[in-house]
Amino acid sequence: MTGHPDWLAGGHRRDLAIERIHAAAADLIARKGMAGLNIDHVAAAAGCSRATVYRYVGGKSALRDAVLTGAIARIAGRIRRAVAAHTGPDRITHAILAALAAVRADPVATAFLTTTSPNEVDTYLAGNPRLADAATELTGTGGDPPAGQWIVRVVLSLLFWPATDPSAERALVERYVLPAFTIHQ
């Protein structure tokens, strides 16, 4: 944030422009998938020029990364609220199940997972050390990066190959995931 708030716009113009561009891109991704992300369409939806998009948020990859970062932050917030009252193995189970529900409810995350190549998903999610760190924090298994990477992969597996219903997913997590953490405690 720089300068003074614009009384007419209701905030800092730069921040408001970035917000509007990100919202337009998120809507486009949710409707048309990652391949549908197009700077011209984002600019038209945001009510600005193509040059304004580049000036405020950068190119297509920077815009994609910002929108995905926003989706990840929303999802992490939902998980954090869902696990706040839980500890130990109960927290691990709730965190994984909350992650599944939050990702499935987020249109940007759903579009990313369903319209992106497996290599990109692996690079952006499974190979992302910040996501693994968040997984260990949210599950209460902190300080163990391989555990975080494994949790991310468990969640991705259940997203790509879901069980028949939520109770079956819970049973899978309790039977096959929790013992791994009990052994290492």
Local confidence pLDDT in tens for the 185 residues of the chain: 555 665 545 667 888 999 999 999 999 999 999 999 999 999 999 999 999 999 999 999 999 999 999 999 999 999 999 999 999 999 999 999 999 999 999 999 999 999 888 888 887 787 788 888 999 999 998 878 889 999 999 999 999 999 999 999 999 999 999 998 875 55
Kindly tell me the burial class for residue 54, based on how many C-beta atoms sit within 10 Å of its own C-beta (0-12, 13-18, 19 or more). middle
From CA 171, how far away is CA 161, in angstroms rounded? 15
Helices 60-83 and 50-57, packing angle to 10 deg: 60
- Tokens for 117, please give them: 């190549």
CA distance readout (Å), 43 to 51, 57, 110: 9, 11, 23
Give this prediction's pTM.
0.87
Q: What are phi and psi of 10, to 5 degrees?
A: 85, 25
